[in-house]
Chain A
Amino acid sequence: MMRRDIFQAIADPTRRAIIALIAVQAMTPNAIAEHFDCSRQAVSKHLQILTECALVKQEQNGREIYYQLEVEKMKEVDKWLEQFRKIWETKFNQLDELLLKLKKNQ
């Protein structure tokens, strides 16, 4: 099997939504599944892929298993700073348009 990597992990919209969910707090598979229309099995499959990518880890708490985000692994997401930069670029382009409009109205 091809080695799974972080980009494979984030290439699927449901997995991105799972990442966003557990970034805020560790959750059980059932709690995660409640947020999605797809089957519990489908969510388990996504969690398995995320685990194989080392992007999430499991933690036993009593009888429950919690999934939590691997913050260290997220550091690979440094490249995503570039995406962050793009967000600012978008905002500034919007401001350019607004300034142009304001200047016309002056």
Chain B
Amino acid sequence: MKLQFDFLVDKEHNTLTIKREFAAGRQLVWDAYTKSELLDQWFAPKPLSTKTKSMDFRDGGHWIYAMVEPNGTEYWARLDYVKINPIDSYLAMDAFADSEGNINPDLPRAEWTVSFHDKNDHSLVETVVTYNSLNDLETVIQMGMKEGLTSTLERLDDLLLTLTK
């Protein structure tokens, strides 16, 4: 079964648009995106895991969570919910934070619009991430390198090794 997956970078508008189809109904997918006990099971890419400190899913509420490396290093973040329309969409602001949920003002924040659509008996989730500037987008990509890309880069090592042989 092939599920739709689009990943678009718009450098003019500083947005990332990510569309993904899921083989489940909209209510279940909505739950997986909005309940911390479910987010904890998928949100951080392997080998990282997700740890929730607190979740208050309502307009004006926020989710404080960490992505945890296998060695125990924690990267804290906070997602502020601006507007929630169950089970259609939510608008949120992300941020790098500390373990108390205090936002790091030196790192860029982005606006997330996540919308949920029916696609026959499947669901389609569209995520539009908007940064203030291209520079912000690149900073976050660098942070992504720092936090989540180590294993990917290790695979790149292997690839480079293969290529140079």
Contacts and interface: CB of A to CB of B under 8 A. Distances in A.
Interface string B128-155: 0000000100100111111011101110
Interface in B70-121: none
19 contacts: A11-B160, A13-B154, A16-B153, A20-B146, A71-B138, A74-B142, A77-B138, A80-B149, A81-B141, A83-B152, A83-B156, A91-B43, A92-B20, A94-B45, A95-B32, A96-B23, A98-B42, A99-B23, A102-B24
Given A23-B143, A71-B135, A96-B22, A83 B28 contact: no
Interface residues on A, range: 35 or more
A85 interface: yes
Given A94-B42, A98-B42, A84 B144 contact: yes
Interface string A65-106: 000010100110100110111111111101111111011001
A92 B5 contact: yes
Interface residues of B, number: 37
A100 B20 CA distance: 16
A38 to B, nearest CB: 18
Given A90-B46, A94-B41, A96-B23, A7 B160 contact: yes
Contacts of B46: 90, 94
A76 B154 CA distance: 19
Contact of A99 (B9, B29, B45): B29
Given A89-B5, A91-B45, A96-B22, A83 B149 contact: yes
B59 to A, nearest CB: 24
A75 B138 contact: yes
A102 B38 CA distance: 10
Given A83-B149, A98-B41, A103 B18 contact: no
A84 B141 contact: yes
Contact of A23 (B7, B41, B142): B142
Nearest to B3: A96
Contact of B152 (A19, A77, A87, A95): A87
Contacts of A84: 141, 144
Interface string B30-42: 0110000010011
Given A20-B145, A80-B141, A92-B22, 17 more contacts: A11-B156, A11-B157, A20-B146, A23-B143, A23-B146, A69-B142, A71-B138, A80-B145, A86-B152, A87-B152, A88-B45, A94-B42, A98-B41, A99-B22, A99-B28, A102-B32, A106-B28
Given A96-B23, A98-B41, A99-B29, A77 B141 contact: yes
